[in-house]
Amino acid sequence: MRGSGFILLLFALVLVSSCAVAFDPLDPTGNITIKWDVISWTPDGYVAMVMLNNFQMYRHIMSPGWTLGWTWAKKEVIWSMVGAQTTDQGDCTKFKGNIPHCCKRTPTVVDLLPGVPYNQQIANCCKGGVVASYGQDPAAAVSAFQVSVGLSGTSNKTVKLPKNFTLLGPGPGYTCGPAKIVPSTVFWTPDKRRKTQALMTWKVTCTYSQILASKHPSCCVSFSSFYNDTIIPCQSCACGCENKNCIESDSNQITMPGINTPSKDNSPLLQCTHHMCPVRVHWHVKINYKEYWRAKIAISNFNYRMNYTQWTLVVQHPNLDNVTEVFSFEYKPLVPYPSINDTGMFYGMKYYNDLLMEAGTYGNVQSELLLKKDVNTFTFKQGWAFPRKVYFNGDECMLPPPDVYPHLPNSSPVSSRFGFHNFATVLFPLLLLTIW
Ligand SMILES: *[C@@H]1O[C@H](CO)[C@@H](O)[C@H](O)[C@H]1NC(C)=O
Ligand SMILES: *[C@@H]1O[C@H](CO)[C@@H](O)[C@H](O)[C@H]1NC(C)=O
Ligand SMILES: *[C@@H]1O[C@H](CO)[C@@H](O)[C@H](O)[C@H]1NC(C)=O
Ligand SMILES: *[C@@H]1O[C@H](CO)[C@@H](O)[C@H](O)[C@H]1NC(C)=O
Ligand SMILES: *[C@@H]1O[C@H](CO)[C@@H](O)[C@H](O)[C@H]1NC(C)=O
Ligand SMILES: *[C@@H]1O[C@H](CO)[C@@H](O)[C@H](O)[C@H]1NC(C)=O
Ligand SMILES: *[C@@H]1O[C@H](CO)[C@@H](O)[C@H](O)[C@H]1NC(C)=O
């Protein structure tokens, strides 16, 4: 017994340290990779294609999009850019005639908005910095621009890699590693009859940490069931109650113009609730059939200033390996480790419910799912039918406490939901981590 306590403590320590290095057990290789391909040398520098690939399964970059920064190693300038722009030109007074696009030592780059003229575009640019998650839409999980750099090295021996990359997307949370030279990228022509090669390629990898992004969760989960009238609400102040303004849903303020205008710093304007979360996920255990059971998921938006485009929801539940039908969301199993298949992602159907509207009448989306019972594990006891983990847009939501769930009538509330499945789904990845 004492031994197992020690092992638990050890796991807890690993859990804490794993957060510090931005390890997400449900998406262990998730990252954003920024790749620079030098496609030509110029008299005083080079032209590079910069490509940002989002390899995160369920974390996308929403409007107002990404912001990329770096520090030049020498006194480089940016002569021009295609498909993106710097936000500040900086001091270019020492240039006569041809003036650079940006002279700052630490340029800050943003994507162009959709609708720029064709001659100012390149492939995968100009989406307002919005990048889909890899799990939802791999083809849209990319963003690109071209940069022409001057006063830099002009060969792969003299070029110095930019340093100190920073990625905001659109808030904080990402940490980028150093740029590293990698084998040159090979490009194929569309007809696949000719290939060309970058003159030099380097890569930067950025990873996300929810703890760096914000002190509090940004969503919470509530439970209900057909077998008990009790609704288990979100925990009070699940998303932090301090320094938060909110407006009551029956206040006449909400009909005033401008209430839905996003603020410059992207701060929310919340409807007052006891949880103070911008998003709530409700899980309802709806029907029990002989061989199946049915659950209903409803996601509600309490932020008047946010439309969640291309939202994603990740759920961990031991029965997700037997999803039979999902009625009005898209569903994709996530398999972070070959031995674990109890996790899946849900997202909206295109043009139907892929937009979770601002708080108010239309600020919710919902679906039902049908699951096949596995006679050996299925039970309504001990809250088994409720999810073990829930993420909205890649951030983990606050669940009710482990022993709080609608009880089956006459079932004793003795044991918590900590059973074998928690070992398999929580501790096993950590075990892998410790072996690492
Ligand atoms: C980033 O993600 C890609 C694609 O999943 C993976 O191949 C690569 O190893 C990851 N990089 C890091 C440093 O984790
Ligand atoms: C630099 O370019 C030369 C040819 O110009 C090539 O042989 C060499 O492999 C390149 N080095 C790197 C690091 O790309
Ligand atoms: C790296 O960038 C951050 C943010 O732009 C800045 O605060 C920091 O001083 C930079 N570090 C170096 C070594 O340039
Ligand atoms: C959300 O979308 C609707 C319809 O496109 C728009 O009228 C509204 O202003 C948007 N709200 C926000 C907060 O962007
Ligand atoms: C899913 O996981 C279970 C138990 O971990 C395993 O028995 C089953 O073979 C897995 N299925 C797939 C398709 O990987
Ligand atoms: C549940 O799924 C697993 C793996 O996909 C399969 O082996 C098993 O037979 C399924 N159980 C039921 C009751 O269909
Ligand atoms: C319903 O669940 C609640 C919370 O778990 C519990 O306190 C209550 O006794 C249950 N009701 C019945 C009729 O069992």
DSSP 341-393: --EEEEEEPTTTTSEE-SSSTT-EEEEEEEEE--TTT--SGGGTTS-SEEEET
Residues 157 and 253 in one domain: no
Q: How many CA atoms lie within 13 A of 371 on its CB side?
A: 26
Domain of 168, in residue numbers: 26-212
Residues 191 and 304 in one domain: no
> Comparing C-alpha atoms, which of 239, 354, 258 is closest to residue 302?
239
Residues 180 and 223 in one domain: no
Looking at the structure of the chain, the number of domains it has is 2
Q: Is the CB of 409 under 6 A from ligand 7?
A: yes
Residues 337 and 401 in one domain: yes
Residues 204 and 224 in one domain: no
> What does pTM read for this prediction?
0.86
CA angle 285, 290, 295 (to 5 degrees): 20
Q: How far is the CA of 156 from the centre of ligand 2 (A)?
A: 6
3-state secondary structure of 252: helix
Beta bridge partners of 298: 282, 366
- Angle subtended by helix axes 2-20 and 428-435, to nearest 10: 70
Local confidence pLDDT in tens for the 436 residues of the chain = 344 444 444 344 344 444 445 688 899 999 999 999 999 999 999 999 999 999 999 999 998 999 999 999 999 999 999 999 999 999 999 999 999 999 999 999 999 999 998 888 999 999 999 999 999 999 999 999 999 999 999 999 999 999 999 999 888 999 999 999 999 999 998 899 999 999 999 999 999 999 999 999 999 999 999 999 999 999 999 999 986 789 998 888 888 888 898 888 888 999 999 999 999 999 999 999 999 999 999 999 999 999 999 999 999 999 999 999 999 999 999 988 877 789 999 999 999 999 999 999 999 999 999 999 988 889 999 999 999 999 999 999 999 999 999 999 875 444 333 333 333 333 343 333 333 2
Q: Is the CB of 207 under 6 A from ligand 1?
A: no
User: What is the position in ligand 2's atom list of the atom closest to the CA of 201?
Assistant: 14
Q: What are phi and psi of 304, to 5 degrees?
A: -70, -20
Does 13 reside within a domain? no
The domain boundary, picked from 156, 189, 212, lies at: 212
Contact of 69 with 44, CB cutoff 8 Å: no
CA angle 141, 142, 144 (to 5 degrees): 165
- CATH number for the domain spanning 57: value is 2.60.40.290
d(CA 367, CA 385): 16
Residues 161 and 172 in one domain: yes
Residues 116 and 167 in one domain: yes
Q: How far is the CA of 137 from the centre of ligand 3 (A)?
A: 33
Element (H, E) at 188: strand 186-188
The domain boundary, picked from 179, 212, 245, lies at: 212
